[in-house]
Amino acid sequence: MENREDKTLEILEAIHTRRSIRKYQDKEIPDEMIRTMLSAAMMAPSAGDERAWQFVVVTDQDKKEQITAVHPYVSMIAKAPLGILVCGDLTKEKYEGYWPQDCSAAMQNLLLAAHGIGLGAVWTGIYPMAERMEKFVSIFGLPDRIIPFGLAVVGWPAQSIPSKERFTQECVHYNKW
């Protein structure tokens, strides 16, 4: 699949065609595309604009192999060119307990940007599972108050997954339950 950075997707199409991609081509991701994804992530809204996030770009093969040993659903990272570990930064907290929402919005922006420029990605969960969190702290040497939140695994897609409409009227209520 070609680099789509200069003809990216329209917003609603991007939202509706983004799928979790777990198979990747054996091909590097250019630094400017990593920057595009991180920049999109950091444009997310956050509680009181606190931006309580940090990002660890993972390209080192040894780190990727270590991750596969501690997370049951991330074996594909061994063959992916890139992981991006999204962390909460409690030193930036203005509103207690909102940092996972900051990080989630950043992650969703990152995934949409990845899809928009022709990459494929999947959000794998870490927080709030204590044991999994401890292992990521250990692998990446995270200091106190930097919380491993979630890991995006990213690559050039080697699979195409059709989009399914998920809208259901059952989840919509009007003015009361």
The contact set with a second copy (CB under 8 A) reads: 8-12, 14-16, 18, 20, 35-36, 38-40, 42-45, 47, 51, 53-60, 63, 89, 95, 97-98, 100-101, 104-105, 107-109, 111-113, 115-117, 123, 125, 128-129, 140-143, 146, 150, 163, 165-168, 171-177
Tokens 């990727």 belong to which residue? Answer: 64
Neighbouring C-beta atoms of residue 24, cutoff 10 Å: 23
CA dihedral sign of residues 61, 66, 69, 74 = negative
Closer Cβ to a second copy, 68 or 100, answer by number: 100
- The DSSP secondary-structure symbol of 73 reads T
Residue (24 or 37) nearer to a second copy, CB:
37
Residue 86 · residue 149 · CB < 8 Å? yes
- Residue 168 CB, nearest approach to a second copy (Å): 7
Residue number, 79 or 92, with CB nearest to a second copy: 92
Q: How far is the CB of 151 from a second copy (least distance, A)?
A: 13
Nearer to a second copy, 28 or 60 (CB): 60
DSSP H stretches of helix in 72-119: 99-116
CB of 156 to a second copy, least distance (A): 18
The residue (of 27 and 138) whose beta carbon lies closer to a second copy is: 138
From CA 128, how far away is CA 122, in angstroms rounded? 18
Shortest spacing between CB 3 and a second copy, in angstroms: 14
Non-local (6+) Cβ contacts of 43 within 8 A are 109
CB of 12 to a second copy, least distance (A): 6
What is the C-alpha to C-alpha distance for residues 26 and 79, in angstroms, rounded to an integer?
A: 7
What residue type is assigned to position 10 of the chain?
E
